[in-house]
Structure 1
């Protein structure tokens, strides 16, 4: 889900429009005459897009997101009362889930939700692609990205981690398809890698849709206004090439994890998707991508960076 309800509806309408044309088959090019030499096929495009931030930009991002600025951005967006399907998370402290702060392509301060996952480099974070860059618009990217795991009511018990690179599917950059992203974050100020500090969540690809899912996020709804981690629980079902659960979390929860087999006593589960969009006509469905081969390539590129 995007940062505001207006952009949320626009994105969902974009998704619906995309579904309407998804089955359209493009006209095939006329074949060459048998006597003509066929041109050499172009090299396959890299299915993964990587947005990198310089050391100077990362240092500036950490300096930019002061406690005062974080407090201010939470007060700047009010998306109405928290819905009845969304409840405050009550369970073991989730060190792995936090707020992802950034300046969007319009120059506005805002946030999403993200999750530290198991990775070779101990530095990978999962979120939504629209939390990184605008879909179908390669040059509209977000800046000053900082992940704050375990955020709660102004407290940042594990510090802040600057985003070094953001990996998205090329299909998102060009066609607004596959709304998921894997981030790579710097070590903290003490030189410690992210998952050495907060632990990590398992992640699964090519999983059959179904079962009980816990979706979490920091939506900009009252009375929490992004200050507390909220949760929806429901059975995942497949629809329109994606999956959904009953949920009414709104903007700010974008990129938050979908956990299967989630245990509130241990705070552990398996990440199987992230919050992407809501049904704008009956805003009680939360959609998430089905993490398949493309998502696995995105994750692998990040975990090996």
Structure 2
């Protein structure tokens, strides 16, 4: 659910688990027959493919991304999208400023300026961010990747008070790249223009893996609904439940909120909580239900690769 001028159809994008229409790509392996009389050595077992795909951005690309995303351009991209009125489930966030949550700006694979939501998390390299895989690349299309990616933590009404951090690497499950499943991503950002690492500036939220589904969840995001149009955070609160192989909460955040955090044990007084998932998609038939992946072993592999990059 990135927000673009033409993203209305993307916001309620069809997912197998949301619609019951799972379409999987099928590959036919063509193997040459070996004559019965031939003697061949036993082949060594093929190495298992790395379950994590890595998209890298060169230093020159990161510099270009910082130059591209001026404050004026960040403001303009929000004005270019209107996905209808906010709510009723999503409400303006009026608690303490959330320095770890911000807007993730990028140019999508069709060349349009757009954004998602992302969260700075605790990591060994003090530079990791969690978001949705579809904010990085198009599902089931390995060559369609996004570019000019920068993270603006704490973004609010045209201002990036804690700086802007260019994305150096983006990790996604290979299953997303090939089959459009497991919609989550971990990013690694470079230091800001003053050489400061991300979580040294804004801190980082803890991430939980293999947590049982359930309990009250707060989901946040920079939805492209009006009047906010991506300029300030919105929040949904609801109980998570297992739903067609993943989890869902009652929420009507829309395009631009993709990748936004799902916090468990969230304190509206301190703004602290534990990250347990990210906004993935709305149910195409029930657009007041938001899906998020269950963070299990694969999500942990994505995160671990990012925090050590």
Normalised-by-shorter TM-score class: over 0.9
- The 5 Å alignment of 1:265-304 reads 265-304=269-308
Match of 1:208 among 184, 189, 212: 212
2:11 matched residue in structure 1: 8
Superposed displacement of residue 102, structure 1: 0.1
- Measure the CA separation in 2 of the matches of 1:181 and 1:21: 22
- Measure the CA separation in 1 of the matches of 2:88 and 2:287: 12
CA change 1:291–1:13 in 2 (3 A) is closer
- Measure the CA separation in 2 of the matches of 1:235 and 1:42: 43
2:94 matched residue in structure 1: 90
- Measure the CA separation in 1 of the matches of 2:40 and 2:191: 57
2:111 matched residue in structure 1: 107
Structure 1 position 198 matched with structure 2 position 202: yes
- Measure the CA separation in 2 of the matches of 1:90 and 1:44: 48
Contact kept, 8 Å, 1:205 with 1:272, in 2: the verdict is yes
Provide structure 2 residue ranges, at least 5 long, that are not aligned to the other structure: none
TM (normalized to structure 1)? Answer: 0.93
- The 5 Å alignment of 1:222-241 reads 222-241=226-245
Instruction: Report the number of matched residues.
Output: 298
- The 5 Å alignment of 1:154-233 reads 154-233=158-237
- Measure the CA separation in 1 of the matches of 2:93 and 2:174: 34
Contact kept, 8 Å, 1:2 with 1:277, in 2: the verdict is no
1:84-142 residue CA offsets vs partner (Å, 9 max, x unmatched): 00000121110000000000000000000000000000000000000000000000000
**2:12 alignment partner, SS class:** helix
TM (normalized to structure 2)? Answer: 0.92
Provide structure 1 residue ranges, at least 5 long, that are not aligned to the other structure: none
2:258 matched residue in structure 1: 254
CA-atom RMSD, angstroms? 2.1
Structure 1 position 81 matched with structure 2 position 85: yes
Contact kept, 8 Å, 1:137 with 1:174, in 2: the verdict is yes
Superposed displacement of residue 18, structure 1: 7.2
2:124 matched residue in structure 1: 120
- Measure the CA separation in 2 of the matches of 1:241 and 1:15: 7
1:255-286 residue CA offsets vs partner (Å, 9 max, x unmatched): 00000000121111000000000011111100
- Measure the CA separation in 1 of the matches of 2:85 and 2:70: 27
**1:210 alignment partner, SS class:** coil
Contact kept, 8 Å, 1:47 with 1:171, in 2: the verdict is yes
Superposed displacement of residue 83, structure 1: 1.8
Contact kept, 8 Å, 2:249 with 2:290, in 1: the verdict is yes
